[in-house]
Structure 1
Amino acid sequence: MRSIPVRLPYEQQSTLGKKGSKKSIGDPSVSKQDLNKALVALGLELDSDQVDRSIWLASELLDWNRRVNLTGISSPEDVISKHLLDSFTLVPVLERIFGAGRIRMVDVGTGAGFPGIPAKLARPDLKLTLLEATGKKVAFLEHAIEGLSLDNTEALHTRAELIGHEPGYREAFDVAVGRAVSGMGTLVELLLPLVRLGGWALVMKTQRELDTELQGALPGIEELGGRVTEIASASIAGYLEDRVIVLVEKVRPTPEAYPRRPGVPQRRPLSGRLSDPSDARPVGPVKNGGGVSVRAEL
């Protein structure tokens, strides 16, 4: 069995080292100054503790990634811009939609926790569920949840096609977010069944992806009970180019047939009504093979 690197949680790393000496937070190659400059460009204000926690997350990702392949983004600069900063672009959209109210959010296909964990760091009031089908990534999510002492946060080792039919998760979230894990037509089928009526699916894409995917996805969005209301720019000069967030409002309940069986949304993205009824049959209960991390009851 491949060993998983384990490091001290954030709070211990900030104060403890060998023989009680001080130990800096995170990998020094992840620059706090660079992150602060990027946050200024975004216009997002984080306090010193939120920045330190973000640096810890980035540092842990780099450290784990040397041993366990979690992401193809491997340089400190790219982790800041393409993981942290890209995730933080979600925060102004959440604030515009929901204000200061509490939000229950699910991050579908979260990978190593992006955008969900940075959004949680910026908005500690989030009640966050992270969905990931790859066990080694779930192990990292559990480590990050523990290390950052994130409350109201869980990591589920499962697929959206399964949990989208489960009571307590189906049509239960204020917002579901996906960050380019699949094409638009596929992604909305994974997101919208999880969103309550009146809630939102937020799809993070490049402008190029949007130009090629949106029109073909519109019939499926309508079939799933959604309506595209806005395409918000998420580009940040000098850091992130060509980025958008598609806002899809849940205006009608999603038909019980969706999401379809695991793998079907990827193979046959929706372009309208269900053409093969056999696609709709779920295949058994949710399996949490990598366990569930819950820091506080959701």
Structure 2
Amino acid sequence: MADTNPTTDAVLEAASRLGRPVEPEQGALLAAYLDQLVKWNRKMNLVGKSDWRSVFDTLVVDSLFLADFLAGMNLPDRPLCLDFGAGAGLPGIPLRVLWQQGDYWLVEVREKRATFMKSVLGRLRLPATNVFAGRAEDALERLAQAGHQATADLILSRAFMPWQGLLDFIRPMLRNEPDRSGAAVILSNDPPPAESAIPTGWQLADVASYPAAGGERYFWSFRVE
């Protein structure tokens, strides 16, 4: 039963085993998210045929270490954050259990996945965490119409599009002021690129590696120059 019905204690143990312990309250929220993910996954195929432990070890693990990575970045006190291609809420929803700085928008064009995330967030009640159901290129304009700032402080991507194309795509969306430039964070299975491969106008900033799924994964952050 533990494989199909995550408990707080089981999640706490799984996080400790991965080397990134969480608090009991966080473990309860992660367990609630995983419980909903497993139930919806039987009907919608959100993450393939996976039990919650596999999802935790291969996908939620990214969120655990990403929380620490973002906490170490130089971000505004209340950044506007966009998570492109949020899918089933990974890494964003587990991330927001652990890292709750600023306003966070999970951007997803596929209606069923957006519906799932809205349902989960209605249960978890994570602060300042919302779903934008629509195209990534429309997100900021629509948010600005609703009273949010017109450019983002942080954009995250796991596999929304190849990273070089992503940087070109998001550059107009990021804040670019003399004393305050936006950042892009990419989750990758590969080490950061050589400087010669980075598009003009960008600078590779913070980089970190972490253990995941028996190997090593990476976070790369880029800043607008």
* TM-score of Structure 1 vs Structure 2, range by shorter chain: 0.7 to 0.9
Q: Which residue pairs with 2:127 in the alignment?
A: 151
Tell me the equivalent position of 1:199.
Answer: 182
Partners of 1:124 and 1:27 in 2: how far apart?
Answer: 28
Contact residue 73 and residue 206 of structure 2 kept, 8 A: no
Residues 277-292 of structure 1 aligned to structure 2 (within 5 Å): none
Query: The residue matched to 1:207 in structure 2 has which SS?
Result: coil
- The one of 47, 52, 55 aligned to 1:71: 47
Identity across aligned pairs (percent)? 24
Given that 2:4 and 2:51 are in contact with CA atoms closer than 8 Å, whether structure 1 keeps it comes out as: no
User: Which whole-Å CA distance do the structure 1 matches of 2:134 and 2:60 have between them?
Assistant: 24
| Alignment equivalent of 1:114, drawn from 90, 100, 103 | 90
User: d(CA) in 1 for partners of 2:75 and 2:136?
Assistant: 27
Q: How far 1:30 moved relative to its partner?
A: 2.7
C-alpha separation in 1, matches of 2:150 and 2:207: 23
Q: State how far apart, in whole Å, the 2-side matches of 1:73 and 1:155 are.
A: 25
Spell out structure 1 runs of 4+ moving beyond 4 A.
31-34, 164-167, 214-217
Tell me, yes or no, if structure 1 residue 133 matches structure 2 residue 116: no
TM-score of the two chains, using structure 1 as the length reference: 0.64
CA displacement, residues 229-282 of structure 1 (integer Å, 9 cap, x when unaligned):
24321324xx4523111110122xxxxxxxxxxxxxxxxxxxxxxxxxxxxxxx
1:45-124 matched pairs, under 5 angstroms = 45-72=21-48, 74-98=50-74, 101-124=77-100
Residue in structure 2 matched with residue 259 of structure 1 by the alignment: none
> Any conservation in 2 of the 1:89–1:234 contact (CA below 8 Å)?
yes
TM-fit CA distance, 1:52? 0.7
Q: Which runs of 5+ in 1 are unaligned?
A: 1-25, 252-298
Q: Which moved more, 1:60-69 or 1:100-109?
A: 100-109
Distance in 2 between the 1:100 and 1:48 partners?
Answer: 28
Cα offset, 1:188, TM superposition: 2.2
Equivalent residues in 2 for 1:162-201, closer than 5 Å: 162-163=138-139, 168=144, 172-197=151-176, 198-201=181-184
With the length of structure 2 as denominator, give the TM-score of the two structures.
Answer: 0.82
SS of alignment partner, residue 173 of structure 1: coil
CA deviation vs aligned residue, 1:181-234 (integer Å, no higher than 9, x gap): 3211232234433322222100001017x66xx778622xx2xx4211243213
1:218 is matched with: 198
Structure 1's 230 and 34: CA in aligned 2 closer, same or farther, altered over 3 A? Answer: same
Q: Deviations over 1:45-75 (max 9, x none)?
A: 4321111110110111111010112222522
* Whole-angstrom CA distance in 1 between matches of 2:143 and 2:104: 17
Unaligned runs of 5+ in 2: none
CA distance in 2, matches of 1:146, 1:171: 26
Quick check: which one's strand share is greater?
2
- Count residues with an aligned counterpart: 217
Greater Rg over alpha carbons, structure: 1
CA separation in 2, counterparts of 1:216 and 1:68?
42
